[in-house]
Amino acid sequence: MHRMTLIAGLVLACTGCGTAEEIRLLTAGSFEDALVRIAESYKAETGHDITIETGTTPVMRERLAAGETFDIVIGTSALLEFAAERGQAPPDISRAPEVGRVGVGVAVRSAVDVPPVQTPEELEALLLSADTIAYNRGSSGVYVQSMIESLGIAGETASRTTQYDNGTQVLAHVIEGGGRDLGLAPLTEVQANAPNGVVMIPLPDAVQNYTRYSAVAAPGAVAPAADFVRYLTTSTARDALIATGVD
């Protein structure tokens, strides 16, 4: 009995102490800050490295279409369905755990005076007061464009509007601007630029939009990939997600 207890104890003690592996992960840029923190915690516990590569949803789709392979993909249901059709994700993505959802906000330099924005009418007034408006070509940008159209101000703002490939460029537009420059981007990316003098204004509840993201380990992924997907649902991971603006 004592021998069996000792063996069991050794097995438990060595769980995760095999050869460290590299896990390649593809995700939306809005999750990057949180995933860096989560990857550090996971490596400290298991020794496995997480290599994080990011892009907007259209860019991720292009990379998957080009045949790139990743151990884990974090994306929208539409992206994961596309990956599943190509054998780059499990066939039943309905079982993929949701990592979180990300809303949209307005980014503005702290030096720019803006009134409170709590209603669609106040948001409309803010956008009409802008010298320039920027948003990306990803999931959040697609929504922002439709929202501006629904507010009935697309024509009035068209000449002052610029679309960028990603949120990083949108935030750079705001940070490097010299006037009343506004950027609409995922809340996580706006929040991450607070140290650069950026103020975050969440969209009013009546027009807010959340993009939901789930995670899958690809068929043929390295062994620890499935465990990292599980780790994304732990309280440690959840704390990091919330701290960086993921709902």
Written in H, E and C, the secondary structure of the chain is CHHHHHHHHHHHHCCCCCCCCEEEEEEEHHHHHHHHHHHHHHHHHHCCEEEEEEECHHHHHHHHHCCCCCCEEEECHHHHHHHHHCCCCCCCHHHCCEEEEECEEEEEECCCCCCCCCCHHHHHHHHHCCCEEEEECCHHHHHHHHHHHHCCCHHHHHHHEEEECCHHHHHHHHHCCCCCEEEEEEHHHHHHCHHHCEEEEECCHHHCCCEEEEEEECCCCCCCHHHHHHHCCCHHHHHHHHHCCCC
CA contacts within 13 A on the Cβ side of 155 = 1
Residue 168 has pLDDT above 90, yes or no: yes
Nearest by Cα to 89 from 78, 104, 100: 78
Q: What is the rounded average pLDDT for all residues in the chain?
A: 91
Q: Which residue from 136, 148, 59 is spatially nearest to 102, judged by alpha carbons?
A: 136
Confidence class for position 33, pLDDT limits 50, 70, 90: very high
Q: Give the per-residue pLDDT at 172.
A: 97
Does the pLDDT at position 161 exceed 90?
Answer: yes
- Paired with 185 in beta bridges are 105
Which pLDDT does position 16 carry in this prediction?
Answer: 44
Would you place residue 20 in the very low, low, confident or very high pLDDT band (cuts 50, 70, 90)? confident
Per-residue pLDDT at 18: 61
Asked if residue 84 lies in contact with residue 91, where contact means CB atoms within 8 angstroms, the answer is: yes
Please report, rounded to a whole number, the percentage of residues in the chain having pLDDT higher than 90.
Answer: 89
From 72, 83, 89, 90, select the one nearest 21 (Cα to Cα): 72
pLDDT band at 19 (very low <50, low <70, confident <90, very high): confident
- Name the pTM for this structure: 0.84
Mean pLDDT of 137-149: 94
pLDDT over 60 at 1, yes or no: no
pLDDT at 126: 97
Instruction: Delimit the CATH 3.40.190.10 region(s) of the chain.
Output: 21-101+211-243, 104-207
CATH 3.40.190.10 fits 21-101+211-243, yes or no: yes
Query: Looking at the domain covering 104-207, what would its CATH class be?
Result: alpha beta
Question: For 40-98, how does the pLDDT look when each residue is reduced to its tens digit (9 = 90+)?
Answer: 999 999 999 999 999 999 999 999 999 999 999 999 999 999 999 999 999 999 999 99
The C-alpha atoms of residue 77 and residue 232 are separated, in whole angstroms, by 17
